[in-house]
A and B are shown apart, each in its own frame.
Chain A
Amino acid sequence: MATLDLAVAGLRPHKRDALRELGIMSLNGMFDEMDGVAVLRQATEHLLPGDLAIVSSFGADSSVLLHMVAQVDKSLPVYFLETGKHFPETLDYVETLKRQLGLTNVVALHPDAKDIARFDPTGDLWETDPDSCCHIRKTEPLDEAVKGFGGWVTGRKRYQTAERGVLPHFELTSDDRIKVNPLAYFSDADIVSYKLKYGLPEHPLYAKGYKSIGCAPCTSIVAEGEDPRAGRWRGLNKKECGIHFDFNGAIAKPMANQELNLFKDGAFVADPFHSWAEGDDAGSVSYTHIPLAVFVENRDAVLANPHPVGLLVSPADDVMAVKGDLDRFSSIAINFPAYTDGRGYSSARLLVERLGYKGEVRAVGDVLHDQIQLMRRCGITAFVVKHEPTKKALIDGKLATVDIFYQPVGLTEIPVGTRPFLRRAVENA
């Protein structure tokens, strides 16, 4: 019955071993939370001898894990994703650590040249489609390399981001590999004191304010008190590069040369959001602006939707109707179907001034040169622009504006002179 076998194979490509799963789970709790070396030794010597890969970004905190590796076995394979987009300081740091810790098996993984030629011929995929960029530079090469191993070691820590709050020492992935996280319980302070205790060299960029270091284009400085990973893919609602998810996790297909229409923080940038389409499911869409009316009708489903979503406000929508749920949205799009329809200005002011919405408020629709300043004043911070002359004016910084105002509007305008009543100016003027 070959037909039936195929069907079964198609439906259930992989059968999990429940006992094995339980065994791995039980390893968690066997070791002192802070005893990363013991965790690593257990993995290399007992759990997966000769079958374990260690992957390091050689970033700000990498020295701690690599120092543990050096204590366990200096010849363990250490993979480094040479994406071609690293800071030069990172590449120097690889050499420094290799030398200082005596690591003998550091292997650089390069992206497939054919992938680069096909998906990123101009080298700006990181800007147009960061998910795809990570995919061809990190996920694919790493996938290839770890195929031959039963598991891998990561330097992930619970404290780093909210999503990692429940990270254990040992995990079983959906394709039956083991992920080992020796630093799972380390805090920022633990890392610092470990580095101090063993005199480990710092990443040269750490002192300059980089707390989590990835590829150069997608890494920025984080402010005091900010989430250390806030500097990664800043402004993109992107938190993970994909490689820490299951190997089989679905990752968007690379899409090169996408047109940039989103103007934000002074530049046209990649837009992680998609437009809502007829037939979309409010409970499962991701990075989509859900129309306000759809949200109101499917509120529970949207609140249960695990993905980042936005809200689309049309002119006739009453934003006060979503008053209590604004935190759910990482972006609110205000639609101006015709630029002469000024209702969006009131909606924006209500959202920002009355309801205290702090996330991105973007204008979509008929967004033109001469209305942008009015929109800004009403609290709109991002603009999806399709009108070419308007784009050009924004890029060139040549909007024709009047930069002093006769009426107090919004939260950022500052009083002018000694008579603060009414008169305002732009914040940075």
Chain B
Amino acid sequence: MYRYDEFDAAFVKERTAQFSDQVARRLTGELNEDQFRPLRLMNGLYLQLHAYMLRIAVPYGTMNSKQMHMLAHIARTYDRGYGHFTTRQNIQFNWPKLRDIPKILEDLASVEMHAIQTSGNCIRNITTDQFAGATADEIIDPRPVAEILRQWSSLHPEFSYLPRKFKIAMTGSPTDRAAIRFHDIGLQATTSALGEIGWQVWVGGGLGRTPMIGKMISGFVPHEHLLAYLESILRVYNRYGRRDNKYKARIKILVHEEGIDSIRQQVDEEFAQVKGGVLHLPQDELDRIGKYFVEPAYELVNETRVDVAREKILNPLYGRWLEHNLHGHRQPGYVSVTISLKPIGGAPGDATDAQIDVVADLAERYSHDELRVTHEQNLVLPHVKITDLPAVYARLVEHGLAEGNAGQITDMICCPGLDFCALANARSIPLAQEISRKFGSPERQAEIGDLKIKISGCINACGHHHVAHIGILGVEKKGTELYQITVGGDATEQAAIGDILGHGFIAEDVPAAIERLVDAYIARRQSPSEPFIDAFRRIGKEPFKEALYGNA
């Protein structure tokens, strides 16, 4: 993975000093809160319901064990012994004190980490496939380009005060695990007719109160022109994106209102001017950055298969974990392991300091010192030898991290909700915990199969409910927390936004309503191998509406 050189280290050091100076000026009153807010946000510092929240960047979701240990240290020393992994592949701490922030940033800098641009109306952390560089189904490893984009977007002077936040996601695999069509810019690796590898560029996707599926703005941009092309999009957005209404300020609205053809033309005109200039990415630079991401020294292993059926008989829980939490690796004898942060009845995405330390240890010992954060709020050990799986599993079991539910109904994305967030209308974590308990039994989950539930505590949709197979949105109506249910969303390359089926439910009634949807699916599926989303596409929403509201 990428390692800082002197330049990177000096940059983070200067940025930390700059932010400390800004905090000091806020404390003396030289900056008022209005003047300070965007500055602290640009360094990941939010003021939440009860306390400050610090969001730490995990560039494209990749960390080493030393960095992970530091997160455990921060959780232990400055917070309440846990951290929360986010859908942006970052981690946030909900209880730091303002006076500790400079110290935390110094600690982070010592392991090449920071909180730069984890909030604010700027280009946010670049996210990507959690299996990047490991998965068998990849056209290219997106991480070198992600690192170059991280550098290009860090404290970009022209794009630090955009109309609104700006998120870029990319995938090197045709199977989209990074939800690229729901980002301001989505990058999909692709091969041109001439066999050259480059990027398909999608623009104007997003969730929030106006969910939009991104539109393809360019079918092919070669590596060398990618920065120039992105700068062109950003410039058009910075100049013409709406600033009159915060809720209409994302690029998705600009694309929607002006039309993709008009935006494409403006971007192309700009690109014609910028192309080939200082942002022309030389191949040797790509190669140089690429060297940081060369494959680790894999061992040649005789055992290249996992006999899940056999293991299921011997140890059903281990067998279930193998069945769901492994992902195919490009290197024979290796797999990528998903560590679920969704224990039955737990708060999705939370991990204690002890758990964070354990995962760091496992990464160091069994995964070439690498780990990943997924946008579905789990962790991944990307390069684990098949022969090491029993040992890894045993450690995970000891620390409550061995839930074999990746991709199952209890592997939910969930925002912090009203328990933490100042924006939320409704609680989401307690509801996730209820649903998790209701469907907690392994047999029930096995019966249901792949089904993604995602919960947002408000219209801002941090819990990605729009793209859930079954989405839950907390709203407030006349002082009551209500939950609307959507069906049929999909975050992958078959991108779809879920439909709202009818009126909302009070919290106590939601788990039962979900169960009715699940039963309706099981009753109508062609076979146990037809997943929920496929069945939904085949039979439409009516049967589900009926399941929820009866035959009205």
Contact = CB atoms under 8 A, between A and B. Distances in A.
B152 A422 contact: yes
Contacts of A368: 35
Contacts of B31: 369, 389
A407 B152 contact: yes
B148 A343 contact: no
Contact of A389 (B17, B25, B161, B238): B25
Contacts of B161: 339-342, 345, 371
A349 to B, nearest CB: 6
Contacts of B160: 342, 345, 374
B157 A345 contact: yes
Interface string B208-239: 00000000000000000000000000010011
Interface stretch (B274-282, B325-333, B477-485, B521-529): B274-282
A346 B30 contact: no
A49 B543 CA distance: 115
Interface stretch (A101-109, A127-135, A223-231, A395-403): A395-403
Contacts of A341: 161, 243
A423 interface: yes
A244 interface: no
Contacts of A346: 158, 235, 238-239
A7 B115 CA distance: 77
Interface string A315-347: 100000000000000000000000111110111
B294 to A, nearest CB: 18
Nearest to B20: A400
Given A368-B35, A419-B288, A405 B238 contact: no
Nearest to A405: B155
A78 B104 CA distance: 74
B39 interface: yes
Contacts of B21: 400
Nearest to B8: A406
Interface in A341-395: 341-343, 345-347, 349, 354, 368-371, 373-375, 377-378, 389
A152 B35 CA distance: 59
Contacts of A416: 7
A378 B157 CA distance: 7
Contacts of B39: 370
B546 interface: no
Q: Majority SS of interface residues in chain B?
A: helix
A370 B25 CA distance: 11
A378 B158 contact: yes
A348 to B, nearest CB: 8
Interface residues of A, number: 37
B18 A342 contact: no
Interface in A133-153: none
A409 interface: yes
Contacts of B264: none
Interface in A399-429: 400-409, 416-417, 419, 421-423
Contacts of B153: 406-407
B519 interface: no
A198 B38 CA distance: 69
B121 interface: yes
Interface in A218-269: none
Contacts of B235: 346
Contacts of A342: 121, 158-162, 238
Interface in B293-331: none
A407 B14 contact: no
Given A340-B38, A345-B238, A406 B25 contact: no
A402 B243 CA distance: 28
Contacts of B18: 400-402
B110 interface: no
Given A341-B243, A346-B235, A404-B14, A417 B156 contact: no
B196 interface: no
A377 B157 contact: yes
B282 A421 contact: yes
A374 B285 contact: no
Given A340-B161, A345-B238, A400-B21, A407 B156 contact: yes
A402 B15 contact: yes
Q: Give the interface centre of A315, A347, A406 by most chain B CB atoms within 10 Å.
A: A406
Nearest to A415: B278
A210 B463 CA distance: 69
Nearest to B277: A408
B11 A402 contact: yes
B154 interface: yes
B273 interface: yes
Contacts of B152: 406-407, 422
A16 B17 CA distance: 71
Contacts of B14: 401-404
Contacts of B441: none
Interface in B239-293: 239, 243, 273, 278-279, 281-282, 285, 288
B283 to A, nearest CB: 11
Contacts of A421: 281-282, 285
A340 B160 CA distance: 9
B238 A370 contact: no
B151 A417 contact: no
A260 B18 CA distance: 27
B423 interface: no
B49 interface: no
A375 to B, nearest CB: 8
B22 interface: yes
A409 B154 CA distance: 12
Nearest to B16: A402
B391 interface: no
Contacts of A345: 157-161, 238
Contacts of B25: 369, 389, 400
A373 B21 CA distance: 15
Nearest to B42: A370
B3 to A, nearest CB: 14
A403 B13 CA distance: 11
A400 B18 CA distance: 5
Interface in B160-181: 160-162
A389 B7 contact: no
A276 B158 CA distance: 27
B27 interface: no
Contacts of A374: 157-158, 160
Given A339-B35, A345-B161, A400-B22, 10 more contacts: A354-B273, A370-B22, A374-B158, A378-B157, A400-B21, A409-B157, A409-B158, A419-B285, A422-B148, A423-B151
26 contacts: A339-B35, A339-B161, A340-B38, A342-B238, A345-B159, A345-B238, A346-B158, A369-B25, A370-B22, A373-B157, A375-B157, A377-B157, A400-B18, A400-B21, A402-B11, A402-B14, A404-B14, A406-B11, A407-B151, A409-B158, A416-B7, A417-B7, A419-B288, A422-B148, A422-B151, A422-B152
List 5 tightest A-B contacts by C-beta distance, closest first: A342-B161, A400-B21, A374-B157, A377-B157, A408-B278
